[in-house]
Structure 1
């Protein structure tokens, strides 16, 4: 799978975020969108996800044969808003996603992310790091081939950071495309870095 961004133009009001931007990405490495705050990392993910619409240009996906396809129903997006049901327990949130995606929870991932011991707590009682891990469980359960992850390692302790890095790295294949935003480089052993804001 490949992603092609061609002649992208996008503005917020008078502020030009992207001007005639061209990017080509392949699925054999994790793509890290690197840059300071305000350089358009989160915006680019939203454009790729279809949450925002570009002013001009094309965002296209192609398969291994080079055929262009529409990614409808193929994208898992993790943004700054974690889309958790705060009034429900951790277990109820996961049960809802399992039913929605018709997928069974991998108990090993549940334990690896240390969410198993939180299962009976309401989401409103969790720390930001715990909420981030729970939201990442939604991405895992979706089993979508395209992952768009906005700062997935923020607010995490060292052990949780390494666990999620491994789970993301395990997605690398010709059929799975992963984009991650970050303030730092050299996060993954197999990564391609796109620096925004130059």
Structure 2
């Protein structure tokens, strides 16, 4: 009986926490991150993992490797699969101002996007059918989201960073955002999410 009560309590707490948590959308990951990298896990311990840097998508350094704090699974979120040497991913990172340690963005592990067959899966955490997401097999788990080629995804991010000041100005003065990278599906998604966040004033 006591066990059943505890399960109910944890479930309720988890539901409340999830309701209060607002996952960072792709534009926020791109703009607020300190660096964005493509890399391969070459080492790990119980608390951190080390990426061999394949490409600096945002930021620039002579560093070849970077050590990052591991995401810790919690009631409402877990990493799609356990950390393993050889995994490739794109990471959106923040550096702690005092400790200088690197962490991935998002309490739901949104800041780590695993690479699968030269493609990226961007997940819609809310499973909102109106968003246009589709069901995808993502490392053995069914998620609702979008699958993009790695090339298009990186190109979209780089173009978005360069365009962001123009997009902000465009929305403030003309109440619109123009897509100037036609044919790039990830960028189209970035534009859509940007419009929503400009509209609700959540992105300065």
The reply to whether TM is greater than 0.5 is no
Task: Determine which structure has more spread, i.e. the larger CA radius of gyration.
Answer: 2
Taking structure 2 as the reference length, the TM-score comes to: 0.24
**Higher RCO (CA 8 Å, separation ≥ 6 residues):** 1
Q: Structure 1 length as normaliser, TM-score?
A: 0.24
